[in-house]
Structure 1
Amino acid sequence: MSAPTTERTARPRKSRTRSRNINGRPALVISTLRPHQYDLRPACASLICPDCKTWVPITGVQGRQQKLVPHDTGRAGKDAAVRCQGSNRLITVDVAYETWEQRLQDGGAETAARRPTTVLPKAFSPRTDRTLRARAERTAAGRVADWNAVLGRVGDVDAARKRLPAGDAPLDGPPLPLTTLHPQRPAC
């Protein structure tokens, strides 16, 4: 008879176990963990296993000996069944429930204070505000009138560009353009 070739999967985890096995590693002291890494509520006392970084229930919270539930490193029913080295590790609960709850609330308030607030738009200077309002109030006829008002000065600048400086033209480089482009605007 040959051995099965299928890979074992992690067993479904029980919420509570009554194993007498004890891990040989030193007891994990709750006060060395951050308040968000453990939960001391009696209904679901648990913590993040330092070895596999998963939430694991604590058995015997109100008894003499508290320890982590035996658990696998992978997800139940999905990954390979590899027992975590932190299974059955003793836990020393040296933090009162009220103290833990207060630390957790203080940490939440501190985190909320570090989060950015709503970004408010920058206030306009009076000059910018006037300019934006004037643009909003302008019409197509007003824009044409503004263009006609500066057309004379544009023509003077174009005429100044057409005048060549006294002396010879530069030998290297492209020739200077002598005509000015006048784009046609569509009628409004």
Structure 2
Amino acid sequence: MSASTRERTARPRRSRTRSRNISGRPPLAVSTLKPHQYDLRPVCASLICPDCKTWVPITGIQAKRQKLVPHDTGRAGKDAAVRCQGSNRLVTVDIEFEKWQERLEDGSAETTGRRRTTVRRKPKIQPVPAVSQIAAQKQTSSNDEPSDGRPLWLLRKMEWASTESAVRETDTRRAALPDSDAPLGAPLVPLTTLHPKRPAR
């Protein structure tokens, strides 16, 4: 990685540093954080920085003075190189390792107890029928046999018999021509078929 790239992007965080610089801010007490916000194991001692909300290694966890390593606020090699105000801040480890581990295990057990272990399947929802299916159902229901036991063809015949006289009377009146003369001023209807021709140019 070139020097220009190292200056423009965040640098990787080291687990230990030999820098003697110490931040002027008051020491950060571990007891003010929640058990899941810090890790007191010597192999990976770290905590969530209150300023940038990211995990930062604690250097000198087994020494007399512990402090946060210098770190940037963003991801290494991707975000801009902005130094966090929590760099080189002293850390006061005022909680014993056994007590922290016990609190962490109790919290994990309580969280696991609140979670449901049974898997409930989602109820099956019947899909909505299409318009063509609804029309087919209506047509099928209309073509069903009547509930009184008589066949459908007999009902159709009885319905036609009840309306046959009215239908035939209407057809007869439509076929009858009026007795009056043709309207005055109306052109005569040609009795021969006309074949018009285009005039020659």
- Matched positions, count: 128
Trace 1:159-178 onto structure 2 (pairs within 5 A).
none
| Residue number in structure 2 paired with 1:17 | 17
Between 9-18 and 105-114, report the one with greater CA deviation: 9-18
Whether the aligned pair in 1 keeps the contact of 2:14 and 2:57 (CA below 8 Å) is: no
Trace 1:104-119 onto structure 2 (pairs within 5 A).
104-119=104-119
Per the normalisation by structure 1, the TM-score is 0.60
Q: Which consecutive residues of structure 2, in runs of 5 or more, have no partner in the other structure?
A: 122-143, 156-201
CA distance in 2, matches of 1:29, 1:17: 20
Trace 1:1-188 onto structure 2 (pairs within 5 A).
8-119=8-119, 153=147
Structure 1 residue 79, shift from structure 2 partner: 0.8
Whether the aligned pair in 1 keeps the contact of 2:57 and 2:68 (CA below 8 Å) is: yes
CA distance in 2, matches of 1:154, 1:38: 82
Per the normalisation by structure 2, the TM-score is 0.57
Structure 1 residue 154, shift from structure 2 partner: 6.9
Whether the aligned pair in 1 keeps the contact of 2:15 and 2:58 (CA below 8 Å) is: no
Q: 1:22 to 1:116 in 2, by over 3 A?
A: same
Secondary structure of 2:57 counterpart = strand
Q: Which consecutive residues of structure 1, in runs of 5 or more, have no partner in the other structure?
A: 122-149, 160-188
RMSD in angstroms over aligned alpha carbons?
2.8
Q: Using the aligned pairs only, state the percent identity.
A: 73
Q: 1:81 to 1:120 in 2, by over 3 A?
A: closer
CA distance in 1, matches of 2:80, 2:148: 80
Highest Rg: 1 or 2? 2
Name the aligned partner's letter for residue 38 of structure 1.
Y
